[in-house]
A = this chain, B = another copy of it.
Amino acid sequence: MAESTNTSRPQLKIRRVSLDTGRENVVVISRHSSALQPEVFRGFSRVELRSNSHVLLATLLITDEDTLVGPDELGLSEPAFRRFAEPVGRLVTVSPAASPESLDAVRNKIQGRTLEPAEIDAIIRDVTHYRYSDMEIAAFLIGSASFMTSGELLALVEAMARAGTQLRWPSPIVVDKHCIGGIPGNRTSMLVVPIVAAHGLTIPKTSSRAITSPAGTADTMEVLARVDVNVEEMKEIVAACHGCLVWGGHVNLSPADDILISVERPLSLDTREQMVASIMSKKLAAGSTHLLIDLPVGPTAKLANAADAMRLRKLFEFVGDHFGISVEAITTDGRQPIGNGIGPVLEAADVMAVLSNDRAAPADLREKSLRLAAHLLEYDPQMRGGSGYARARELLDSGAALKKMQEIIDAQGPCHCRADIGKLTFDIITADDGEVADINCLQLNRLARTAGAPIDKGAGIKLFRKVGDRVEKGQPLYRIYAFDQSELDLAVGAAKTNPGYTVVNSRTSSSRTAP
Does residue A42 face the partner (Cβ distance < 8 Å to B)? yes
Residues of B within 8 A of A67 (CB): 65, 67-68
Which of the segments A142-150, A151-159, A183-191, A231-239 contacts the partner chain?
A142-150
**B4, A19: Cβ atoms under 8 Å?**
no
Residues of B within 8 A of A454 (CB): 39
A27-60 interface with B by 8 A CB criterion? 28, 31, 37, 39-40, 42-46
Please give the distance in Å from A3's CB to the nearest CB on chain B: 7
Does residue A20 face the partner (Cβ distance < 8 Å to B)? yes
A108–B291 Cα gap in the complex (Å)? 34
Does residue A509 face the partner (Cβ distance < 8 Å to B)? no
Residues of B within 8 A of A266 (CB): 46, 99, 133, 135-136
Does residue A61 face the partner (Cβ distance < 8 Å to B)? yes
Residues of B within 8 A of A493 (CB): 1-2
A241-264 interface with B by 8 A CB criterion? 263
Does residue A455 face the partner (Cβ distance < 8 Å to B)? yes
**A63, B455: Cβ atoms under 8 Å?**
no
Do A26 and B79 contact each other (CB < 8 Å), given the known contacts A39-B454, A135-B266, A137-B135?
no
Residues of B within 8 A of A143 (CB): 142
**A19, B43: Cβ atoms under 8 Å?**
yes
Q: Hey, what's the 0/1 contact readout for A110-154 against B, CB within 8 Å counting as 1?
A: 100000000000000000000001111111001101100000000
**A21, B4: Cβ atoms under 8 Å?**
no
Do A1 and B494 contact each other (CB < 8 Å), given the known contacts A62-B19, A65-B68, A454-B39?
yes
**A64, B4: Cβ atoms under 8 Å?**
no
A62-102 interface with B by 8 A CB criterion? 62-65, 67-68, 77-79, 99
A39–B214 Cα gap in the complex (Å)? 13
**B263, A135: Cβ atoms under 8 Å?**
yes
A279–B17 Cα gap in the complex (Å)? 42
Does residue A268 face the partner (Cβ distance < 8 Å to B)? yes
Interface size on A, residues (CB 8 A): 66
Which of the segments A297-305, A318-326, A354-362, A484-492 contacts the partner chain?
A484-492
Does residue A107 face the partner (Cβ distance < 8 Å to B)? yes
Instruction: Choose from B31, B106, B139 the contact partner of A20 (Cβ within 8 Å).
Output: B31
A42–B62 Cα gap in the complex (Å)? 22
Does residue A24 face the partner (Cβ distance < 8 Å to B)? yes
A481-510 interface with B by 8 A CB criterion? 484-486, 489-490, 493-494
Does residue A171 face the partner (Cβ distance < 8 Å to B)? no
Please give the distance in Å from A146's CB to the nearest CB on chain B: 6
* In the complex, residue of chain B having the shortest beta-carbon distance to the beta carbon of A210: B39
**B139, A65: Cβ atoms under 8 Å?**
no
Does residue A9 face the partner (Cβ distance < 8 Å to B)? yes
* In the complex, residue of chain B having the shortest beta-carbon distance to the beta carbon of A75: B65
Does residue A8 face the partner (Cβ distance < 8 Å to B)? yes
Please give the distance in Å from A83's CB to the nearest CB on chain B: 13
Does residue A180 face the partner (Cβ distance < 8 Å to B)? no
Does residue A18 face the partner (Cβ distance < 8 Å to B)? yes
Does residue A22 face the partner (Cβ distance < 8 Å to B)? yes
* In the complex, residue of chain B having the shortest beta-carbon distance to the beta carbon of A97: B266
A146–B254 Cα gap in the complex (Å)? 30
**B136, A133: Cβ atoms under 8 Å?**
no
**B4, A490: Cβ atoms under 8 Å?**
yes
Do A110 and B269 contact each other (CB < 8 Å), given the known contacts A44-B24, A63-B20, A135-B135?
yes
Please give the distance in Å from A488's CB to the nearest CB on chain B: 10
Does residue A7 face the partner (Cβ distance < 8 Å to B)? yes
**B20, A490: Cβ atoms under 8 Å?**
no
**A7, B45: Cβ atoms under 8 Å?**
no
**B489, A17: Cβ atoms under 8 Å?**
no
A24–B26 Cα gap in the complex (Å)? 13
Does residue A23 face the partner (Cβ distance < 8 Å to B)? yes
**A19, B136: Cβ atoms under 8 Å?**
no
* In the complex, residue of chain B having the shortest beta-carbon distance to the beta carbon of A24: B44
Does residue A267 face the partner (Cβ distance < 8 Å to B)? yes
Instruction: Choose from B4, B24, B62, B136 the contact partner of A43 (Cβ within 8 Å).
Output: B24
Q: Name 8 A/B residue pairs within 8 A (Cβ), A-sorted.
A: A19-B63, A20-B61, A20-B63, A37-B455, A67-B68, A99-B266, A134-B134, A134-B138
